[in-house]
Amino acid sequence: MIAVYPGSFDPVTNGHIDIIQRAAKLTDTLYVAVLTNPSKKPFFTVEERISLLEKVTEDIPNVKIEPFSGLLIDYAEKIGAKIIFRGLRAVSDYEYELQMALANKKLKGDTETLFMVANSKYSFLSSSLVKEIATFGGDLTGMVPDFVISEVEAKIKRR
């Protein structure tokens, strides 16, 4: 079975990694699909995000990292995925994710969205929060892998 876990991963957090590890155990191939959205100004380029994800998933043989743009459901169909994994941290995530899952179901009825509840130690964590903390010089230990901390700090210094 082929599945996809989409996101911006800007940057990848320990919460993302937890979902990737858990989802990879449930499927033959898990595509981690990195969203390219031309209307947004990402912190890291798509290539940088893919590179970070490749490094954190190098020990998970059934994970493939790819960029995508456009409708997720079209990308899922292109790669043959019948499952979309989405992580939920809070009720507010559920409302948005439910809307997306129902829209995807309407567009392509044979693809299922499976929600994975975030590990409680990561339930507060988001890429936006990581960037905000880093911008103000806060400690990112435990939120992202150590090498990602270095990449985030280097990116802030270059800005």
In this prediction, residue 24 carries a pLDDT of 98
Q: Summarize the confidence of residues 36-48 as an average pLDDT.
A: 88
Catalytic member of 22, 55, 64, 89: 89
Q: Tell me the residue range of the domain where 114 lies.
A: 1-156
The beta strand positions in the chain, using DSSP E, are 2-7, 29-35, 63-68, 83-88, 112-117
Q: Which residues are annotated as a binding site?
A: 8-9, 16, 40, 72, 86-89, 97, 122-128
Catalytic residue flag (residue 69)? no
Of 35 and 39, the structure prediction assigns the larger pLDDT to 35
Q: Summarize the confidence of residues 64-74 as an average pLDDT.
A: 96
Catalytic residue flag (residue 108)? no
Distance, CA of 18 to CA of 22 (rounded, Å): 6
On the question of pLDDT at 94 being above 80, the answer is: yes
Q: Which residues are annotated as a binding site for ATP?
A: 8-9, 16, 87-89, 97, 122-128
CATH label of the domain that carries residue 78: 3.40.50.620
In this prediction, residue 93 carries a pLDDT of 85
In this prediction, residue 159 carries a pLDDT of 74
Q: Summarize the confidence of residues 17-27 as an average pLDDT.
A: 98
User: Domain count of the chain?
Assistant: 1
Catalytic member of 40, 51, 78, 121: 40
Confidence of residue 128 (pLDDT cuts 50, 70, 90): very high
Query: Percent of the chain beyond pLDDT 70?
Result: 100
Q: Which two tokens stand for residue 65?
A: 């990292």
Q: What is the reported pTM?
A: 0.94
Taking every pair of Cα atoms in the chain, the longest distance, rounded to a whole number of angstroms, is: 46
Catalytic residue flag (residue 40)? yes
Catalytic residue flag (residue 16)? yes
